[in-house]
Amino acid sequence: MDCVFCKIVEGQIPSTTIFEDNDFKVILDISPANLGHSLVICKHHYENLIEMPEELVGKGFIVAKKVAKAIKEATNCDGINILQNNGVVAGQTVFHFHIHIIPRLEKDSVKIDFGDFKTESEKIIEIGEKIKNNL
Ligand code: AMP
Ligand code: ZN
- Domains of the chain, residue spans: 4-109
Nearest ligand to the CA of 51 is: 2
Residue 9, helix vs strand vs coil: helix
Give the Cα separation of 97 and 84 in Å (integer). 8
Each residue's pLDDT expressed in tens, for the chain with a length of 135 residues: 799 999 999 999 999 999 999 999 999 999 999 999 999 999 999 999 999 999 999 999 999 999 999 999 999 999 999 999 999 999 999 999 999 999 999 999 999 999 999 999 999 999 999 999 999
* Residue nearest atom 1 of ligand 1, based on CA coordinates: 92
Question: May I ask the CATH architecture of the domain 4-109?
Answer: 2-Layer Sandwich (3.30)
Phi and psi at 92, nearest 5°, equal -75, 130
Give the Cα separation of 1 and 45 in Å (integer). 10
Give the Cα separation of 58 and 11 in Å (integer). 25
Catalytic residues: 98
In terms of C-beta density within 10 A (0-12 exposed, 13-18 middle, 19 or more buried), how is residue 69 classed?
exposed
* Residue nearest atom 18 of ligand 1, based on CA coordinates: 30
Give the Cα separation of 24 and 86 in Å (integer). 18
pTM, 2 dp: 0.97
Of 63, 37, 48, 135, the closest CA to residue 93 belongs to 48
Distance from Cα 53 to the centre of ligand 1, integer Å: 22
